[in-house]
Amino acid sequence: MPHNHDALLEHVKADMPADELLQDLGDLFKIFGDTTRIKIMYALYEDEMCVCAIADLLGMTQSAISHQLKVLKAANLVESRREGKTIYYRLADEHVKSIIAQGYEHLTE
Amino acid sequence: MPHNHDALLEHVKADMPADELLQDLGDLFKIFGDTTRIKIMYALYEDEMCVCAIADLLGMTQSAISHQLKVLKAANLVESRREGKTIYYRLADEHVKSIIAQGYEHLTE
DNA sequence: TGAACATATGAGCAATTATTCATATGATAA
DNA sequence: TTATCATATGAATAATTGCTCATATGTTCA
């Protein structure tokens, strides 16, 4: 017979967050899981930047950057302000930096 | 004429990590960007577990779990030990927990 | 109003990837 | 050895997704 671990399962299951939260967590990290978006967040690490500056920096299309900024904004990872024709983006909160910093540590330790 | 931001770009570029590291960072977070893997890591949050227990817990195939454990192990996010026929997996280091914790905070704050 | 600049967006394509299915490997006990 | 349990793995499929291209929206200035 296959071995039994009902007791363990019950215990672990009780400590697991709700499925919806786990899904949201996965969705959040999925956003960090793209080099372009990581680069954008790093570009905004110290100061705000306009879309075309980011595009220039990464050597990518304005369209591509705009699409990614939309994704980042939908996840509350960046915020923006308009100044004339230009729109400046900045990181939304400190979690962005600390998540990236933790990943960085895991890689470089 | 389009507006110029060469000075800014030069400054930001100097502070950006190497392209290879940025790629690795993206690849690392990509691994966190899947609900199944998030669930596995949460299951291992407090203690080690064997493959079939994880499969039972998540209501998924042993094969599916094995595939994902392989991904997690390749990224040094989990480690394993054998005990007879059974193989127990555990989290590899504290970064796993802190990365997840930061994501959790971002969502629930 | 019209022209130029800055950004946003919808559709389509190409590439990635999570799961399934079948099967292989490894270990134990009879 | 043979049977069974535990895990790993290769191939195939289905779904997701990042970029491009064309175009739309919004702003400023002449």
At A49-91, the pLDDT tens digits run 999 999 999 999 999 999 999 999 999 999 999 999 999 999 9
Q: Does A12 touch chain B (CB under 8 A)?
A: yes
Q: Which nucleotide, over all strands, has the C1' atom closest to the CA of B27?
A: C16
Does the beta-carbon distance from B26 to A12 stay under 8 Å? no
Q: How would residue A7 be classed by pLDDT, with cut points 50, 70 and 90?
A: confident
Does the beta-carbon distance from A25 to B104 stay under 8 Å? yes
Does the beta-carbon distance from B98 to A102 stay under 8 Å? yes
Half-sphere exposure in the Cβ direction for A40 (13 Å, CA):
33
Residue A21: predicted pLDDT: 96
Does the beta-carbon distance from A99 to B99 stay under 8 Å? yes
Average pLDDT over residues A88-97: 95
Query: Is it the case that residue B104 has pLDDT exceeding 90?
Result: yes
Structure confidence by residue, pLDDT tens digits, B34-86: 999 999 999 999 999 999 999 999 999 999 999 999 999 999 999 999 999 99
Residue A6: predicted pLDDT: 85
Residue A1: predicted pLDDT: 66
Q: Does A62 touch chain B (CB under 8 A)?
A: no
Q: Say whether A60 sits in a helix, a strand or coil.
A: coil
Instruction: Measure CA to C1' and name the residue nearest C5.
Output: B2
Lookup: tokens for A28: 């959040």
The per-type count for chain A, helices as H runs and strands as E runs, is: 6, 3
Q: CA of A54 to nearest chain B CA: how many angstroms apart?
A: 8
Does the beta-carbon distance from B107 to A24 stay under 8 Å? yes
pTM for the full predicted model: 0.93
Output the CA–CA distances (angstroms, integers) from residue A53 to A66, A84, B23, B40, in the order listed: 12, 15, 21, 40
CA distance A14 to A19: 12
Average pLDDT over residues A6-11: 88
- Residues facing strand D, Cβ within 7 A: A 1-3, 30, 33-36, 60-61, 63-64, 67-68, 71, 82, 84-85; B 50-52, 62-63, 66-67, 69-70, 80, 85-88
Identify the residue among A107, A108, A109 best suited for mutation to test binding to B, counting B beta carbons within 10 A and taking the highest: A107
